[in-house]
Structure 1
Amino acid sequence: MPRLVLASASPARRTTLLGAGIDPVVIVSGVDESQVTGLPPAELALQLAELKCAAVADRDDVPADALVLGCDSVLELDGETLGKPGSPDVAVQRWRAMRGRSGVLHSGHCLRDVPTGRTAAANASTAVHFADVSDAEIEAYVATGEPLHVAGAFTIDGLGGAFVTGIEGDHHNVVGVSLPLLRELVRELGHHWPDLWTETTAANG
């Protein structure tokens, strides 16, 4: 059975996969995201996912039967790419621009079948509607540190969930990995989705 390797340090992505019955091996890619610039938001997310996947798939410590998954997410607002804010000031500015409005969260997915070398890649995009939060709420949220290191300066599965009034598309994609899209990529590479489930999950099923 293939073993899924997650080329990401994101705990939210790992938690999402665990909830779906998949216990991935985590190997952080170390890709410098700032090296890719000038692309439209969706293309940027996909190219970074491909770079992360390739960086891990080529390593010697990857299991021989691995399926390596690279992911990257960005928020598109007015055609502009909003990645990780990195600083409190930027996060506050982002939220003042986002509140009461809608953006599109793009997550690039790239899956490499290590034994065959075959790769399947695609984007998932989900519309996100933000609450008209107050300045005080923005300041308090940014002070928690949560929005500083996530795409678009928000999470839907954490403190930021109260500030998202609705979505159109896959909920898991906003967390960082679209399970329906990942299943399609697994099938495209000739594998069976339940084969990725842990033995415990398969036995309970």
Structure 2
Amino acid sequence: MDNKTKPTLILASSSPRRRELIRTLGMPVEIRKNDVDETISADFPPRKIVEELSMRKAKAAFESIQIEGEHSVVIGSDTIVVHEGTVLGKPKSAEDAFQMLKRLQGETHEVFSGIACIQAPTGRVKVAHHMTQVTMKPLQHDQIHRYIASGEPMDKAGAYAIQGLGATFVEKITGDYFAVVGLPLSLLSDMLSDLEIHVI
């Protein structure tokens, strides 16, 4: 596809963080949020979880735009936090958030971010993931409680936001910072290039 046609990137996500990131690519962006079943087999490894959920999100959005879908790419993405083989989702309560952060403090965990791209109108599919390691500082219980009181952790996988106050807890990362935020832009750029859409 000729990049001069400025294909539209259709993001299958309601995440404000992903919206902000995808707009940095300088292409037209549309948001299509579709509810999908996020039930997943407990036997799936983390990479397969994020790739499968990303694909479900992209597929649901793709099906809603097929009639008008010339020169567009639907993008689904999913991010999970994994510590010692256990997947940590979004906390269900303040106590749940406390237990997650208590578990992660002073430890290194992995963040897996998946991306699925479906090109319209051809239906070509690209699916991939990126894993980043994040090491947190040791934390005091009162620090964790104050952070939870800010409200920031409650809709975040692993109960922290690296792009917010949660950054103060992070000692180091090994990998892609943007994958931890929720959308690995370097990986996405490579996947778009495979679809003959060149960001730069």
Same fold (TM over 0.5): yes
Q: Is 1:120–2:126 an aligned residue pair?
A: yes
User: Alpha-carbon deviation of 1:165?
Assistant: 1.0
Q: C-alpha separation between the residues in 2 aligned to 1:50 and 1:144?
A: 33
After superposition, what is the alpha-carbon deviation per residue over 1:30-86, rounded to whole angstroms, capped at 9, x for unaligned?
A: 1132x2231222211111001000010000476432100000000110011112123
State the partner residue of 1:15: 20
Q: Is 1:49–2:61 an aligned residue pair?
A: no
Q: C-alpha separation between the residues in 2 aligned to 1:103 and 1:142?
A: 20
Alignment of structure 1 residues 53-202 onto 2, 5 Å: 53-60=58-65, 63-194=69-200
Residue identity matched to 1:29: N
Query: Which range moved further: 74-83 or 14-23?
Result: 14-23
> How has the CA–CA distance of structure 1 residues 160 and 22 changed in structure 2, closer, same or farther, with 3 Å as cutoff?
farther
When the two chains are superposed, the root-mean-square deviation of aligned CA atoms in Å is: 1.4
Q: C-alpha separation between the residues in 1 aligned to 2:15 and 2:29?
A: 12
Q: C-alpha separation between the residues in 1 aligned to 2:25 and 2:136?
A: 27
Partner SS for 1:72: strand
> How has the CA–CA distance of structure 1 residues 93 and 138 changed in structure 2, closer, same or farther, with 3 Å as cutoff?
same
Contact 1:147 1:155 in 2 (8 A): yes
Structure 2 unaligned blocks of 5 or more: none
- Compute the TM-score of the two structures, normalised by the length of structure 2: 0.91
Q: C-alpha separation between the residues in 1 aligned to 2:105 and 2:15?
A: 25
> What is the identity percentage for the equivalent residue pairs of Structure 1 and Structure 2?
34
> How has the CA–CA distance of structure 1 residues 161 and 71 changed in structure 2, closer, same or farther, with 3 Å as cutoff?
same
Q: C-alpha separation between the residues in 2 aligned to 1:28 and 1:89?
A: 29
Partner SS for 1:120: strand
- Compute the TM-score of the two structures, normalised by the length of structure 1: 0.89
> How has the CA–CA distance of structure 1 residues 159 and 68 changed in structure 2, closer, same or farther, with 3 Å as cutoff?
same
After superposition, what is the alpha-carbon deviation per residue over 1:161-192, rounded to whole angstroms, capped at 9, x for unaligned?
A: 11111100111111101111001110111222
Structure 1 unaligned blocks of 5 or more: 195-205
> How has the CA–CA distance of structure 1 residues 146 and 37 changed in structure 2, closer, same or farther, with 3 Å as cutoff?
farther
Q: C-alpha separation between the residues in 2 aligned to 1:129 and 1:23?
A: 35
Determine which of 18, 40, 50 is the counterpart of 2:45: 40
